[in-house]
Amino acid sequence: MGQSSSTLPGGTRSWTLVNRKEAKMGVLLEVNDLVVDFPAASGVFHAVDGVSFSVAAGERVGIVGESGSGKSLTVQAIMRLVSSPGVISSGVVRFDDEDVLSFGTRTLQRWRGHQVAMIFQDPMSSLNPLMRIGLQITESLETHLGIKRSDARKRAVELLRQVGITDAEARMNDFPGAFSGGMRQRVCIAIATACAPRLLIADEPTTALDVTVQAQVLDVLDTMVSESDTGVILISHDLGVISNFCDRILVMYAGRIVEQGSAAQIVGSPQHPYTRALLRSILKLADPIPERLRTIAGAPLLAGRRPAGCAFAPRCPMAVEECHTTDPALVPLLGENETRGVACGVVAPAAFQAVESPKGVNTL
Ligand X SMILES: Nc1ncnc2c1ncn2[C@@H]1O[C@H](COP(=O)(O)OP(=O)(O)OP(=O)(O)O)[C@@H](O)[C@H]1O
CB of 285 to ligand X, least distance (A): 23
CB of 228 to ligand X, least distance (A): 27
Binds 35, which of ligand X, Mg ion, none (CB < 5 to 8 A, cut-off by type)?
none
67 binds, among Mg ion, ligand X, none (CB under 5 to 8 A by kind): ligand X
For the CB of residue 106, give the shortest distance to ligand X in the complex, in Å. Answer: 27
Contact window for ligand X (CB under 6 A) among 9-17, 19-27, 71-79, 134-142: 71-79
Are the C-beta atoms of residues 125 and 181 closer than 8 Å to each other? no
Distances (CA, A) of 226 to 19, 121, 209: 19, 21, 23
DSSP 8-state secondary structure symbol assigned to residue 327: -
Contacted entry of ligand X, Mg ion, none for residue 50, CB cut-off 5 to 8 Å set by kind: none
Smallest CA-to-CA distance from 250 within 98, 78, 112, 100 is with 78
Residues in the chain: 364
Q: Does 72 bind ligand X (CB under 6 A)?
A: yes
The helix (H) or strand (E) run that includes residue 261 is strand 256-262
Partner in contact with 184, chosen from ligand X, Mg ion, none, beta carbon below 5 to 8 Å by kind: none
Q: Does 72 bind Mg ion (CB under 5 A)?
A: yes
Query: Cα separation of 207 and 132, whole Å?
Result: 25
96: DSSP letter: T
Closer CB to Mg ion, 47 or 55, in the complex: 47
Exposure of 362 in the CB half-sphere (CA atoms within 13 A): 25
Number of residues that bind Mg ion (CB under 5 A): 1
Least CB distance from residue 24 to ligand X, whole Å?
31
How far is the C-alpha of 221 from the C-alpha of 163, rounded, in Å?
Answer: 8
From candidates 50, 62, 70, 91, binder to ligand X by CB under 6 A? 70
User: Which of ligand X, Mg ion, none lies near 73, with the C-beta cut-off 5 to 8 A by kind?
Assistant: ligand X
202 binds ligand X, rule: CB under 6 A? no
Residue 237 within binding range of ligand X, rule CB under 6 A: yes
Torsion angle (degrees, nearest 10) of CA 117, 223, 189, 26: 0
Q: Which of residues 267-326 bind ligand X (CB under 6 A)?
A: 303
Check binding of 67 to ligand X (CB under 6 A).
Answer: yes
ω into 85 cis (within 30 of 0): yes
Dihedral over Cα of 118, 119, 125, 128: its sign: positive
- Supply the minimum distance, in Å, between the C-beta of residue 72 and ligand X: 3
Q: How far is the CB of 206 from ligand X (least distance, A)?
A: 13
Q: Catalogue the E-assigned strands of 120-162.
A: none
Residues 281, 285, 287, 291: what is their CA dihedral angle, to the nearest 10 degrees? 30
For position 360 contacting ligand X by CB under 6 A, the verdict is: no
Nearest-angstrom CA–CA distance, 111 and 285: 43
CB of 157 to Mg ion, least distance (A): 33
Of 62 and 332, CB closest to Mg ion: 62
Binding region for ligand X (CB under 6 A): 38, 47, 65, 67-73, 86, 237, 303
